[in-house]
């Protein structure tokens, strides 16, 4: 606490005026600092609000991206399963077609083999008949 020297009619006016001037100057300095701090606080609050809004937007974007990712995965799984199912159906159809062709070819092969046997038998009979004719001709002469 400041002590003033005394003069004729009380305290020394020059000291008191100087003290008051110092107090006013200090008060104004503190007031200016306080205003600057208030402005800084206001700017920080505005920045905070902007960053909070940005955070909310980013969180929403992340949720949307996760949802989209999950939907894409689900669709990919479904499409993969559909492709596999279709491939199985096609494979079954191809196998069935191959079995039918095999049966048809086997039938044709059996038929050809039977025809060859019939042809051989008839050819053999024809040759034997010709041999008999030749034998008859040679026996006569």
Region 57-82: mean pLDDT is: 97
- Cα separation, 27 vs 122, in Å, equals 138
Is the confidence at residue 9, as pLDDT, over 80? Answer: no
pLDDT of 111 reads 95
Judge whether residue 141 has pLDDT over 70: no
Q: What is the structure's pLDDT at 11? A: 75
Model confidence pLDDT, tens digit, residues 93-107: 999 999 999 999 999
pLDDT band for position 15 (cuts 50, 70, 90): confident
In tens, the pLDDT along 27-47 reads 999 999 999 999 999 999 999
Give 71-96 pLDDT, tens digit per residue: 999 999 999 999 999 999 999 999 99
């Amino acid at each position: 606490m400041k002590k003033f020297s005394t003069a004729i009619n009380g305290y020394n006016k020059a000291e008191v005026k100087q003290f008051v001037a110092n107090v006013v100057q200090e008060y104004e300095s503190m007031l200016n600092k306080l205003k600057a701090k208030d402005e800084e606080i206001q700017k920080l609050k505005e920045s905070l609000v902007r960053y909070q809004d940005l955070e909310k937007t980013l969180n929403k974007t992340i949720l949307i991206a996760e949802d989209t990712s999950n939907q894409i995965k689900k669709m990919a799984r479904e499409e993969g399963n559909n492709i596999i199912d279709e491939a199985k159906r096609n494979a079954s159809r191809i196998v069935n077609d191959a079995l039918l062709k095999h049966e048809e070819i086997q039938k044709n092969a059996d038929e050809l083999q039977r025809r060859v046997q019939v042809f051989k038998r008839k050819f053999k009979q024809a040759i034997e008949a010709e041999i008999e004719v030749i034998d008859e001709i040679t026996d006569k002469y």
